[in-house]
Amino acid sequence: MEIYEPGPGQKTPHRPQHHSNEERVFFKRSAFNDWTPRWEKIAFFCLGFFGLDLISLVTSFIIGLTPLVETNYVRAMSLNNFLAYLFLFGAFLAFLFFDGRKSWKRLFEDFKDPHFLAYGAAGLLGIYGINILFNLLYSLVPFYGDNENQLLIESCIKNDPVLMFFSVSIFAPFVEEFTYRIGLVDSIGHKRRWLGVLLSSVIFGAIHFDWSSLFSYIIGGAESGIEPEAILNELMNLPVYIGSGVVLGFVYALSGKISSSLFSHALNNTISFVVLLA
């Protein structure tokens, strides 16, 4: 493993510590976990979790100043989604390239190991398995279907496939994996990796839930115009997203490589994108 030697006036970077064999059981150690200080992992999580909403708020305000929202609302949403993830993607890359520890090299080293393909493929099968399982469980529920988050993404893909390809297949998987796997799983620590996987999965599911409809229905009831079946459908979709988060978390924790969960996530999104267009 390369040791980064600081030049004159540079701070000594975070160095990997020696760990006993007991800590290596089941979950493999991650290069990012060993080389990245905890404050930076927490910064990854805060940047992805809070930054997405803040950037979306700014970009939506700017887009709202144009006639695009009134003339083509779906295109405005596509553009807003693209810009928000683009800015976050750039922010994460800036962290990797300018943190003084050459973290970008460790990311490339992750992809040099062909084992990430096997873990990534297993993760993809796991995600499909989760979806098949819940489709079977909900097969007798007449109103079960895609939730609001998925329906909006599908509309945006059909309306602006080029913008949404970058958002769905490249930017979003990268941002979400660094936010929830490195940012949250690694922040909690190696000994409590299982807790990090569970917590990141719950939050990963929650960000794909339509909370605004739920709160509107709780406050306004029938007068909100939201059908109870729509809320139940959202709740039924929640464990599907959480289950997918569990799969991605275990792929990362078991492989010790962010490239594995990133590959699973990006491949799953890309296949869904192609199937939808086809």
* Residue 223 confidence (pLDDT) above 60: yes
Buried b (16+ CB within 10 A) or exposed e, 225-247: ebeeebbebbebbbebbbbbbbb
155's CB contacts (< 8 A; 6+ apart) are 74, 77
pLDDT of residue 107: 80
Burial of 249 (0-12, 13-18, 19+ CB in 10 A): buried
pLDDT of residue 26: 58
* Residue 9 confidence (pLDDT) above 50: no
Contact yes or no for 31/110 (Cβ under 8 A):
yes
Question: Mean of the pLDDT values across residues 197-213?
Answer: 91
- State how far Cα 277 lies from the chain centre: 22
pTM over 0.75: yes
Question: Mean of the pLDDT values across residues 199-217?
Answer: 90
* Residue 216 confidence (pLDDT) above 60: yes
* Residue 7 confidence (pLDDT) above 70: no
H helix intervals, 65-112:
68-71, 73-98, 103-112
pLDDT tens across 120-163, in order?
A: 999 999 999 999 999 999 999 998 998 888 899 999 999 999 99
CA separation (Å) from 1 to 31, 56, 59, 97, 108? 10, 39, 41, 18, 13
